[in-house]
Amino acid sequence: MIAGHLQEKKGLFYIVLNCKDENGRRKPKWIPTGLKVKGNKKKAEILLQEARKNYQLEAQAEEIEKLTAITKTATPSDDNKRLFADFMLQWLEMMKNNIELITYISYSNAVKGRVEPYFREKAIMLEDLTTEDIQTYYSQEMNVRGVSANTVIHYHANIRKALQYALKTKLIVSNPADLVERPKKNNYVASFYNLEELNRLLAVIRREKIELAIILASFYGLRRSEVIGLKWSAIDLSNRTINIKHTVTSGNLNGRYIEIEKDRTKNKASRRTLPLVDTFYDLLIRMKEQQEINRLSYGNSYCTEYLEYIYVDVLGERIKPGYITQHFPIFLEKHNFRRIRYHDLRHSCASLLLANGVSMKEVQEWLGHSDYATTANIYSHLEYNSKVSSAQAMSKVLKFK
């Protein structure tokens, strides 16, 4: 259901729906309720829920009508058939206003980059598509192109979801993707630095452009999007806390680079408050002072668009998410460190917490995982202290000679 909220204006309640335009940019829709603010909040909330439901139903009906119209007019043959490749593009267009922009970018890159070109070349019609056709495509992706199983699973999710919509709108009589044998998901084993390696790393990053990113990931276990999105307003210098609540992500859509700012985190649990340690406190004070110096030094050349953000360069431009990913391995190679991914610093943080007696539940809360199972699945092999306790318990009851 579309998001929305109540807004007070001139003593009246207005409904504001978080709509998007055809380019995926925010375009709020204001709806007057005619209700005065005083004494009518519950009535206004009921109207808000009804407006959200009605908008969603109208949007779905409009998309179905649009897709049906396309079916009747864009016919690749005399018997009103359509190419599966064309259908995937139509489905993608329909999804644009129903999902998050970053999710749409992921869908678009998969469909336009790989799925649509392959099936267009094969010229397979939507109603003729078989399980074998889809299975053959997955085999080619993995065996010929060398695509990972996880990537193919991602393609499968898009194809199956699109075909489910085709089934729902009676464009096909069954979903051939339902019977496909998906490849087995790659087992992921997190890589991480040990205590000695992390301390060596922290010893050589001072004054480096990537310093903030490394500290936040290795000590606080922050994600890249959380590092880039950190604002000065999230820092409480009096109470020495950091509030993780804003993110910045990026992606490429139709060849155009896009940065997406959100006043919320990956999930509800990711919004968390962490203590501000002395070392990071000192770093922030130094960065704030340096930004003021840079702003005065560069005058009109200094970018004022990102004054609320902490992680900016000397000209005030916000650091791009890709900068961290690209320059972290360069920095490691320059200083002769073992190569790991930037995200592995988050794993390093978790491994040190577990090695020093912090419980799995506490690690979950520190990292901002949505549920305990996520943390346990990734880090259970590192929870050494619990294994020591188990060994000691067993030693008391089992006697070896």
Report the share of the chain in percent with pLDDT over 70: 83
**Rounded-to-integer distance, Cα 168 and Cα 30, Å:** 32
**Rounded-to-integer distance, Cα 10 and Cα 348, Å:** 53
Q: What backbone phi and psi angles, to 5 degrees, belong to 26?
A: -65, 135
Please check whether residue 401 lies inside any domain of the structure.
no
**Rounded-to-integer distance, Cα 230 and Cα 217, Å:** 12
Cα–Cα separations (whole angstroms), residue 344 to 251, 263, 369, 376 = 21, 25, 15, 16
The band of 362, judged by pLDDT with boundaries at 50, 70 and 90, is confident
Write out the residue range of the structural domain in which residue 28 sits.
Answer: 1-72
- Does 379 have pLDDT greater than 80? no
- 162 with 267, same domain: the answer is no
- 306 with 210, same domain: the answer is yes
Q: Are 16 and 29 in contact (CB under 8 A)?
A: yes
Q: Give me the pLDDT at residue 236, please.
A: 92
Over residues 339-347, mean pLDDT: 92
Q: Give me the pLDDT at residue 46, please.
A: 84
The band of 56, judged by pLDDT with boundaries at 50, 70 and 90, is low
**Rounded-to-integer distance, Cα 331 and Cα 326, Å:** 9
- 89 with 67, same domain: the answer is no
Q: Are 362 and 376 in contact (CB under 8 A)?
A: no
Reading the block at residue 73, the tokens are: 């007019």
Please check whether residue 99 lies inside any domain of the structure.
yes
Q: Give me the pLDDT at residue 75, please.
A: 43
Q: Are 17 and 29 in contact (CB under 8 A)?
A: yes
Please check whether residue 392 lies inside any domain of the structure.
no
- Does 121 have pLDDT greater than 90? yes
- 200 with 176, same domain: the answer is no
- 137 with 278, same domain: the answer is no
Q: Give me the pLDDT at residue 32, please.
A: 86
The band of 78, judged by pLDDT with boundaries at 50, 70 and 90, is very low
CATH number, domain with residue 170: 1.10.150.130
Greater pLDDT, 79 or 69: 69
- 236 with 369, same domain: the answer is yes
pLDDT, averaged across the chain: 85
- 102 with 41, same domain: the answer is no
Q: End-to-end alpha-carbon separation of the chain, Å?
A: 66
Residues 6+ apart with CB under 8 A from 169: 64, 67, 68
The band of 380, judged by pLDDT with boundaries at 50, 70 and 90, is low
Over residues 373-387, mean pLDDT: 59
Q: Are 163 and 124 in contact (CB under 8 A)?
A: no
Where is mean pLDDT largest: 30-34, 311-315, 344-348? 311-315
The band of 80, judged by pLDDT with boundaries at 50, 70 and 90, is low
Among residues 54, 72, 90, the one where a domain terminates is 72
Among residues 138, 165, 187, the one where a domain terminates is 187
- 136 with 49, same domain: the answer is no
Q: Give me the pLDDT at residue 76, please.
A: 42
287-297 pLDDT per residue, tens = 999 999 999 99
Q: Tell me which amino acid residue 239 is.
A: N
Please check whether residue 400 lies inside any domain of the structure.
no
Q: Give me the pLDDT at residue 304, please.
A: 94
Please check whether residue 334 lies inside any domain of the structure.
yes
CATH number, domain with residue 289: 1.10.443.10
Over residues 269-282, mean pLDDT: 85
According to DSSP, the residues that pair with 15 across neighbouring strands are 6, 31
- 168 with 266, same domain: the answer is no
Q: How many domains does the chain have?
A: 3
Please check whether residue 163 lies inside any domain of the structure.
yes
3-55 pLDDT per residue, tens = 788 888 888 888 888 887 766 677 788 888 888 888 888 888 888 888 877 77
The band of 69, judged by pLDDT with boundaries at 50, 70 and 90, is low
Over residues 157-162, mean pLDDT: 96
Among residues 43, 72, 101, the one where a domain terminates is 72
DSSP for 117-136, written as a single string: HHHHHHT-BGGG--HHHHHH
- 181 with 246, same domain: the answer is no
Please check whether residue 244 lies inside any domain of the structure.
yes
Please check whether residue 212 lies inside any domain of the structure.
yes
Residue 317 backbone class (left: φ over 0; alpha: ψ -120 to 50; beta: rest): beta
Name the H helices within 220-343. 224-228, 278-298, 321-334
Q: pTM (2 decimals)?
A: 0.68
Q: Give me the pLDDT at residue 279, please.
A: 83
258-272 pLDDT per residue, tens = 999 988 766 666 788
226-266 pLDDT per residue, tens = 999 999 999 998 899 999 989 999 998 888 899 999 887 66
- 240 with 332, same domain: the answer is yes
- 56 with 114, same domain: the answer is no
**240 burial type by CB count under 10 A (0-12 exposed, 13-18 middle, 19+ buried):** middle
